[in-house]
Structure 1
Amino acid sequence: MQKLIFPILFIVFSSSYAQTSVKVIDVQNELPIPGVLIKVEGGKNQSTDKNGVAQINLTKPNELVFSHIGYQILTQVVNPDGEVLIALNPLTNDLSTVTVTAFETDRPLLMQASAVSRVLENELYRFNETSIVNAFNTKAGVRVEERAPASYRISIRGSSLRSPFGVRNIKVYWNGIPFTSPDGTTPLNLLDLSNIQNTEIIKGPASSIYGAGNGGVINLESRMGIEENRISTDLNIGDFGLLRYRFGIEQQIGNGGISASYVHQKSDGYREHSGVDRKVFQMAAHMKPSEKQELSTQILYTDLYYEIPGALNSDQVVENPRQARPGSVDQNSSISQKSLYGLLSHTYQFNEYLDNQTSVFVNTTDFENPFILDYKKETAFSYGGRTKFTRNDKLGKFPIRIIAGGEYQFGKTLAQNFGNRNGQADTVRFSDDLITTQAFLFQQFEMELTPALLLTLAASENFSKYDINRTIDASANEPADNVRRFDPIIVPRFALAYKINNTSAVHGSISSGFSPPSIDEVRTNEGSLNLGLEAERGVNYELGYRSSFGIFNIDVTGFYFKLDQTITTFANEQGVVLFRNAGSTNQRGVEAQVDYSLWKNPQSIIQELKINHAFTGHYFEFADFNSGGNDFSGNQLTGVSPNTLVNQFDLRTKFGVYLNFTHQYVDKLPLNDANTVYQDAYNLVGSRIGWRSVFMGNWDLEAYLGVDNLLDESYSLGNDLNAFANRFFQPAPGRNYYGGVKVGYRF
């Protein structure tokens, strides 16, 4: 009897788990591809051997996902047929295959009539993984400054003139919601790199779709779709007491999934009193209730604390660049911010012609800022949303796309300013109940006049208001309710994109922009209310060319931006930064990005050698500018480097070893409106070398080492403009090192 049972069990077992031999080859040369990760739905992941073969147990047809760093990801249903041949397409950087979502329209980059730069996830991880600074600064026309760790200032085409601190004059979105607060400020330092997967940067006014902001728009996206069950952890250490660690988990559930991550980053800082401590927790869920709709939700909580060392004059820099500004330590000059975001996004496809995307959010923030001159406390609550309808249709024989929607934000803040006695809040100086509202409607009409010519007409109608109810005023002024309502502004845009052939195109546009003053510019730190401050208005003329030929990708844009009612900064006798409208500026520039692969063969030991160049020429000047009885007309725009060049070299090998090398040249730039003080030109060189690999189909491993400022240059990564008492300089670290490891497991 036993002699019969065992053969029967063997036959049943063999028929239940039919082993399928999968061979993966290159579609171009038909050579086998080793190291391809094969994700098996409901089963154990595998990877191909040196002959490009993997043995997979299948009981029925199953959906497999094939991925390799040098090839396009392929998803295919595989039958348990014994032997299966899979062909993968090598990855290319051809601009005709790149799709961007700028101006709310998914089109190939070649047919985008705007200057758009992308920052991909792999570009964020070419550098030390503590901030966005280095990756963003590799893009033409974009400049991110970090005056102290976690203290960001972002300039797109010189838009930081009115930003002594913080991010202004730029609209930032995160996962479809406005991350820029209704008061005009953007707490970009609340995000860790792990909260960002891909980024699109629109350079120049985009108010026809995104509302306020002359500088441009930054669209940030975190990882939404869950493709696998995975746990992962990172550890990053470096000079100046740097320690960063992360834990993450992703779990598939039906057609969607959930993910969660926690990141803790801390450091002592290069300078005295420049430490940072940031904890970030993010949880996300993505669902597909039906074929017609998708639903996503996110929770983001950040607990951020960082010290502010303050700016130095030139003598103090020579004496000791690592010292803090006198008084910063005694007064505990710093920022403590706890913020919670909750957001919900819904997409619905009514039919093949019409769809809708709607996102809503709520945010609460506790903020404390002891400074040398005062102590600020704020408790804020805000909510808002954005909705967009898209209809694809035809007008006669011409394909058209109509986009229409709106955005609304409401914020309420209890803002109190105290005296600062040895880092502690003293007597209240003034207290305000602030209510800020921002709203706009937008419409966009696109028509394909020919298969190669796309016309875009767009406009938005914008409304904004500040209510400042002063409940306490320790000065001679009586408490009062103040309202600053900005006149409704209509902002148009006209654009054309023409495809010369399948790999090259030209584009041109005329677009208006506007930027009302932020609440920090209207309600100043010494207690005055600058209710007469007007919104900046500008018109941008732009012409660009994009092309892919052979190994080269080229993207060049020239522009002229005329800005009126320019908001500039100055300091009063106490050193408090104040703001005023000061004439107009002429901003002419050229931005060029070129990349090419000297070698690309996923089959060889050296799989890729890639070089990238980015040049920024910003030749900006004050057209009509009088300040304090001085005529600065014709002077170079403050804080803008006329020439910037970035060179990148990337090497990737078959064994998982990679090398990234980056050089950045920044021309000298004026630090005051009179153009009498400059920061010298400097060269930054950095490199990262590492090794990444996949083991047993389920384990991802990576180890890396890197160096920043290899030449040990003396420079400021962010300067104080028009600084009081000549305190212009915020010295950046000299040569410094970092390293880390990453481990991931798919289950």
Structure 2
Amino acid sequence: MQQYPVRRNAMTALMALGSIATVTAARGEDATPLPLADVVVVSATRIGHTVFDMPAAIDVVDASRIQQSQPRVNASEALAAVPGLVAQNRQNYAQDLQISSRGFGARSTFGVRGVRLIADGIPASMPDGQGQAATFNLDMAERIEVLRGPFSAIYGNHSGGVIQLFTRDGDGAPTIEAGVSAGSYGSRKTDINAQGKQDDIGYVLDASRFQTDGYRAHSAATRDQAFAKLTLTPMQDAKLTIVANGLRQKDTQDPLGVSWATYQRDPRAGEIDASDTQTPKRTLADRYDTRKSIDHQQIGAQWTQQFGDDRLRVMLYGGNRQVVQYQSFSRAFQAPGSHSGGVIDFDRDFYGADINWTHVSALAGGKLSTTFGLEYGRSDDDRKGYENFIGNQLGVQGALRRDEQDVVSSVDPYLQAEWQAGAWMLSAGVRRSTVKVAVDDRFLSNGNDSGDLTFSHTTPVFGVLYRIAPTVNVYASAARGFETPTLNELFYSATGGFNFNLRPAESTHVETGVKAKLDERTSLSAALFQVRTSDEVVVASSSGGRTSYRNASKTLRRGLEVSLESSWRHGLSTRVALTALRAIYDQGFGAVPEGSRLPGVPKANVYGELAWKNSTGSFGAALEGIATSKIYADDANGDQAAPGYAIVNASVNARQQWNGWRFRQFARLNNLLDKNYVGSVIVGDTNKRYYEAAPQRNWLLGMSANYQF
């Protein structure tokens, strides 16, 4: 659950006169939002349908949930209300969010893998499947679509789930908005944005800065983001969208994980470095000055052209990502032949394209929509590694230990068809994914790691939906999926060199569900699912920021997801999201017995919200509760599990309008009952430093001002 760090003093309270601007979808800021079951989505079939009419488990997080009473720093703030999804803020901005869908992605020690990330139709995941949710611009978000289950497979590699962000289009008279927010542990954010439409050109511009001292020791961060979007209609039935974004984090501190004993002693403390004889009680993070700098820029363009009922879509994108990371291990304390360096330094250029054609025709008394497409992606890393010491000084760039060129490319032709007639909808698709990895090792004193790998897999998907009544739909779907090792998972083997022996995981998904409108104010959706996976990629060892992986045996995931939304009289509304998931190793391997639970995956979690707003919408309040079961951090389930917890959060918001001005304020109190709990775990840490504490009671205040010309 997202928390909001800050130091408690009068100066910080004065800074709290603000929040980032609350922006709504293009329907208009004061418009009553559609029931989420009636929102049109595109994630599962690429053809627009309401959530209610999709043969898939899909949820929509609308603009009000993303932006109202939230700082809009991390996607985990809004995704907590989605069943089947676990989105945790590690309280570590050097490693990004920990996101998993039905257990896929839970092993990630940094960033997002196993779950496909897309923003405005442009991939936010690299060709190898690694993504960064920090690149999402939440200030301008219109909605987030979250797709789970078999239909995720139509997106190919690393699609255990799909999270798509859609930002608003510029529309109407020009507006400019500015705001600030501040809260516990030194967190503050400033934001300014502008939007509008002139003739046939819509524009959206946004820039923000987020800073925090951090809840955990050695976890301060500064994040600068910029975003621009242009929408043009150069000819009839055509639309051109250009999106650019940038992310910069300079020297973001990495607090690392801690042992159970350290967490019990002080949840905010760092792990003491027992090997440090010069400065007793100094933490590992302080001794090595663990940190990461990120500089990311990306631009993409999308052309959509209608030809009657048919449609052509062409998407192109490209960008650059530079990362320098200082880790908490050093060859100074390892065997001379080790491949470890301690400092990661890479410069990545990436680009790609997707072109598809949708044809609509009549067939057997119904409508057939067929999409043919081809997607291509490529990333090219100039990667170096260095010692993180010079002499007796740690945390500085030393001698070169790695120098290589790493190229990952993917080519994916796909076909998807949908037929509708009467109460029936049939949908099927197939995608052929080919992922190539090539390594050119230029540092040969510790051996030659040059080589290449090719992974190929076909992922078919099929679904059927039947409307048994105007207000009740039932559906079933099935698919095959696969997940290649990411480039970062291939970097290290048990012997230290590139891991050419890792294989992709292959999975079989089945799901059945029901979607019902119990009345005009209440909607229910429920899904039962099963996933069987072979060659699951798991952590072999993880220490000081360096992780190696291996293939395990078979795994089994069986679960239930339920969401229930209701609007009541007098401005009251409720939302409940429930997930029950049994995720186990279905076959033992090594020292891991059959039946062990997958690490990082809770057995159950529940989200509940009671919200209220007055008749004019000028004032509102909400109370939300989040509960989750214990989480194991190791494959064998032999070490102390992170205990389950339940927390309560509260928020209030207000808005006013005067002439051309609109003002908003909010206050938020998280972890109302002041619980101590582990918010996330580092899966498979060899030194058993698994635990990442979440903040105790913390607050956030904010205000924004918007002027329309």
Could you tell me the TM-score, scaled by structure 2's length? 0.88
- TM-superposed CA distance for 1:528, in Å, is 1.4
Tell me the equivalent position of 1:328: 285
- Counterpart of 1:589? 559
Asked if 1 retains the 8 angstrom alpha-carbon contact of 2:150 and 2:477, the reply is: no
How far apart in 1 are the matches of 2:670 and 2:612?
Answer: 18
1:190–1:304 CA contact under 8 A, matched in 2: no
- What SS class does the counterpart of residue 358 from structure 1 fall into? strand
Shift of 1:625: 2.6
Please give the secondary structure, in 1, of the residue aligned with 2:691: coil
Q: Provide closer, same or farther for how the CA distance between residues 638 and 127 of structure 1 changes in structure 2, counting only shifts above 3 A.
A: farther
CA drift of 1:466 comes to 0.4
Aligned equivalent of 1:556: 526
Give the one of 353, 360, 365 matched to 1:385: 353
Higher strand content, 1 or 2 = 1
- Match of residue 259, structure 2, among 313, 316, 321: 313
Q: Which residue of 1 aligns with 2:610?
A: 649
Match of 1:616 among 579, 584, 592: 579
After TM superposition, list the pairs within 5 Å mapping 1:346-745 onto structure 2.
346-350=303-307, 352-373=308-329, 374-421=342-389, 422-448=394-420, 450-475=421-446, 477=447, 479-486=448-455, 488-524=456-492, 527-550=496-519, 551-571=521-541, 576-599=546-569, 606=570, 608-627=571-590, 630-654=591-615, 656-676=618-638, 677-696=640-659, 698-745=660-707
Q: Given the superposition, is the C-alpha separation of residues 553 and 239 from structure 1 closer, same or farther in structure 2, using an over 3 Å criterion? A: same
Amino acid at match of 2:538: T
- In structure 2, the partner of 1:257 is 202
Q: Is the 1:137–1:143 contact (alpha carbons within 8 Å) kept by the matching residues of 2?
A: yes
Q: SS state of the match for residue 284, structure 2?
A: coil
**SS at structure 1 position matched to 2:297:** strand
What is the rounded CA distance, in whole Å, between the counterparts of 1:126 and 1:617 in structure 2? Answer: 28
Whole-Å Cα distance in 1 between the matches of residues 551 and 27 of structure 2? 57
Change (3 A) 1:195 1:251: closer
State the one-letter code of the partner of 1:481: S
Segments of 4+ moved more than 3 angstroms: 65-71, 205-208, 572-576
C-alpha contact 2:56 2:150 (8 A) present in aligned 1 = no
Q: For each residue in 1:31-68, what CA deviation from the matched residue of structure 2 results, as whole angstroms up to 9, or x when unmatched?
A: xxxxxxxxxxxxxxxxxxxxxxxxxxxxxxxxxx9957
Residues 3-23 of structure 1 deviation map (CA, whole Å, 9 limit, x = unaligned): xxxxxxxxxxxxxxxxxxxxx
Summarize the Cα distance change of 1:575–1:249 in structure 2 as closer, same or farther, 3 Å threshold.
Answer: closer
Contact 1:256 1:287 in 2 (8 A): yes
Report if the CA contact (8 A) 1:139-1:614 is conserved.
yes
Give 1:117's aligned residue: 59
Q: Deviations over 1:657-691 (max 9, x none)?
A: 11021100111122212222211110121111110
CA distance in 2, matches of 1:158, 1:246: 34
1:218-267 Cα deviation digits (max 9, x unpaired) = 11111224233100011111111111010111132102222211101101
Give the distance between the partners of 1:695 and 1:666, measured in 2 at CA: 44
2:47 is aligned with 1:105: yes
Contact 2:107-2:599 within 8 A present in 1 as well: no
Deviates more, 1:519-528 or 1:494-503: 519-528
Say which one has the larger Rg. Answer: 1
CA distance in 2, matches of 1:575, 1:381: 24
Between stretches 336-345 and 179-188, larger displacement belongs to 179-188
Distance 2:27 2:597 in 1: 53
Q: Is the Cα–Cα contact under 8 Å of residues 354 and 391 in structure 1 kept in the other structure? A: yes
* 8 Å Cα contact 2:491-2:548 kept in structure 1: no
Query: Alignment length, in residue pairs?
Result: 648
Q: Is the 8 A contact 1:248 1:262 kept in 2?
A: yes
The secondary structure found in structure 1 opposite 2:568 is strand
Distance (whole Å) between structure 1 residues aligned to residue 27 and residue 89 of structure 2: 40
Q: Which residue of 2 aligns with 1:25?
A: none
What is the alpha-carbon distance in structure 2 between the residues aligned to residue 661 and residue 303 of structure 1? 34
Report the Cα distance in structure 2 between the residues aligned to 1:438 and 1:481, rounded to whole angstroms: 19
Quick one: distance in 1 between partners of 2:28 and 2:133?
33
For each residue in 1:691-729, what CA deviation from the matched residue of structure 2 results, as whole angstroms up to 9, or x when unmatched?
012222x21110111111111111122111222222111
- Please identify, of 383-392 and 124-133, the stretch whose mean Cα deviation from structure 2 is larger: 124-133
Residue equivalent to 2:192: 247
Task: State the secondary structure of the residue aligned to 1:209.
Answer: helix
Structure 2 equivalent of residue 337 of structure 1: 294
Structure 1 unaligned residues grouped into runs of 5+: 1-64, 72-90, 600-605
Conservation of the 8 A alpha-carbon contact between 1:161 and 1:568: no
Residue 148 (structure 1) aligned with residue 117 (structure 2)? no
Specify the code of the residue in structure 2 equivalent to 1:470: D
Query: RCO higher in 1 or 2 (8 Å CA, sep ≥ 6)?
Result: 2
Letter in 2 for 1:440: D
SS where residue 651 of structure 1 aligns? Answer: strand
Distance (Å, rounded) in 1 between the aligned partners of 2:449 and 2:490: 15
Aligned residues: CA RMSD? 1.8
Q: CA deviation at 1:128?
A: 3.2
Shift of 1:216: 0.9
Query: What is the CA-CA distance between 1:149 and the residue it aligns to?
Result: 3.8
The whole-number CA distance in structure 1 between the counterparts of 2:545 and 2:621 is 46
Query: How far 1:492 moved relative to its partner?
Result: 0.5
SS at match of 2:681: coil
What are the Cα deviations for residues 107-152 of structure 1, in whole angstroms up to 9, with x where unaligned?
Answer: 1222211110111111112443122213101110011122224321
TM-score w.r.t. the length of structure 1 is 0.84
Deviation at 1:398, TM superposition (A): 2.5
Distance 1:533 1:68, change over 3 A: closer
C-alpha change, 1:156 and 1:94, in structure 2 (3 Å) is closer
The secondary structure found in structure 2 opposite 1:224 is coil
SS of the aligned residue for 1:194 comes to: coil
Q: CA deviation at 1:494?
A: 1.0
Tell me, what secondary structure is at the counterpart of 2:134? helix
Gap change, CA 1:229 and 1:153, over 3 Å in 2: same
Residue of structure 2 in register with 1:270 after alignment: 215
Deviations 1:180-223 (A, max 9, x none): 01232112113342143211011124455311124211111112
Change (3 A) 1:214 1:372: same
Q: Find the aligned partners of 1:651 and 1:473 in 2 and give their Cα distance.
A: 65
| CA deviations over 1:377-397 (Å, ceiling 9, x no partner) | 000101101122111111242
Alpha-carbon contact 2:525-2:562 (below 8 Å) kept: yes
Identity of aligned residues (%): 20
**How far does the alpha carbon of each residue in 1:267-291 deviate from its partner, in whole angstroms, 9 at most, with x for none?**
1001111011011111111111122
The yes-or-no answer on 1:132 pairing with 2:75 is: yes
